[in-house]
Amino acid sequence: MKSKIDITVFDNGEAAIMKASLTGELWADYQAFARLAAKRREKNRFHAEKAARRYERVASLSLFAFYETVLHRWLPHFAEQVDVQAFIDKPLAEKSRIVLLQVFPDAGKDQEFAHLWAILERYDLHNGAWLDALTGETLLDIAQSMDAFLSCIEQKSGLQRFPACEASTDTLVSKLSSFFFHRVK
């Protein structure tokens, strides 16, 4: 998986170098927007409530994008058993079931994630109604359900939702770091 490198050079000559994967950034986006929503909601005013709902909607979209990105990243591990193009075109709930069946071929595990399937099927309808009912509590419930599923898959298969950076990325970052920090001193 490719990593993103973000280099910021400040007025005083210092540089900040950040490396992250897309899944890491989407997860960080979800967390940041969920925190902003909680802070706005604490203010307990009408405009703050509107802002909190707005941040919750953005957090949920980031969360679903994160979840789908993780499933797509895991797809090459199942490429022999799964038609890649058909997988990409399927609804999110069905993609999740396919991944589950690849890791746990016996059907008994499916019932364990019935709540997640209901959430994903609502999302797959994508008529916007699920966004109207979204609150901080439901957002947390969605995140916990997705986390339980991803953790279960990770434990059984050894796959990871947050990939390690490639060696070439690490080498580039260390070279850039040494260049910037050597020049500043």
pLDDT band at 60 (very low <50, low <70, confident <90, very high): very high
Token representation of residue 34: 């969920």
- Give the C-alpha separation, 41 to 45, whole Å: 8
Q: Looking at residue 131, what is its pLDDT?
A: 84
| Most confidently predicted of 10-14, 19-23, 64-68 | 64-68
Question: Between these two residues, 110 and 23, which has the higher pLDDT value?
Answer: 23
State the residue range of the domain holding 140.
6-182
Tell me if 49 is assigned to some domain.
yes
User: Has residue 163 got a pLDDT over 50?
Assistant: yes
pTM, rounded to two decimals: 0.78
pLDDT band at 132 (very low <50, low <70, confident <90, very high): confident
Tell me if 46 is assigned to some domain.
yes
Give the sign of the dihedral formed by CA 97, CA 102, CA 108, CA 112: negative
Token representation of residue 10: 């400040």
Number of domains within the chain: 1
Tell me if 130 is assigned to some domain.
yes
User: Has residue 2 got a pLDDT over 80?
Assistant: no
Tell me if 23 is assigned to some domain.
yes
Q: Looking at residue 179, what is its pLDDT?
A: 55
Helix (H, G, I), strand (E, B) or coil at 17: strand
pLDDT band at 8 (very low <50, low <70, confident <90, very high): low
Tell me if 1 is assigned to some domain.
no
Question: For residue 72, what are the CA distances in angstroms to 125, 142, 163, 168?
Answer: 20, 19, 13, 23
